[in-house]
Amino acid sequence: MTLQLAKLERWAQAGLLLACASLSVPACAVAGEAGLDLVCTGNSYKADGPFPTVETFSLKIDGKKPVIIGGPGSEKPVKARTIASNAIQLKFTTGKFTGEYFNFTGDLFLIHTDGRLTRLTCKPS
């Protein structure tokens, strides 16, 4: 019985490694040296606001270089300081907000210092 459990455990580990390997390839392509130039659109929410506000940001991720993010309207793009970067998530900060970009889904969350939350979906420009 223990021999069968050991074999089952080895098969489960092999399947998990295979699944993780197939997921890490797109993440490496996303966070690779070539970089990404994205346009992100979504909604901004206030704690006391009745309706979300539509916003668009530009996001440039270029390997080891700083993240560059441009806000809505005529705001100039700013360099963001990278807090953490791995295959799943890129976390960065500017003076106005903290951002989290998820490589697998293309979701970008911005937590503003004034209490707003912006949820965006990014696509290549």
The domain locations on the chain are 36-124
Dist CA 64 CA 91 (whole Å): 13
- Asked whether 93 and 101 are in contact (CB, 8 A), the reply is no
Q: What is the pLDDT of residue 22?
A: 43
pLDDT reading at 70 higher than 80: yes
Q: Which CATH architecture has domain 36-124?
A: Beta Barrel (2.40)
Mean residue pLDDT across the chain: 79
Confidence of residue 7 (pLDDT cuts 50, 70, 90): low
Dist CA 4 CA 8 (whole Å): 6
Q: Which residues, other chains included, contact 61 with Cβ-Cβ below 8 Å and sequence gap of 6+?
A: 31, 35, 36, 38, 67, 90, 101
Global pTM value = 0.70
Q: What is the pLDDT of residue 103?
A: 93
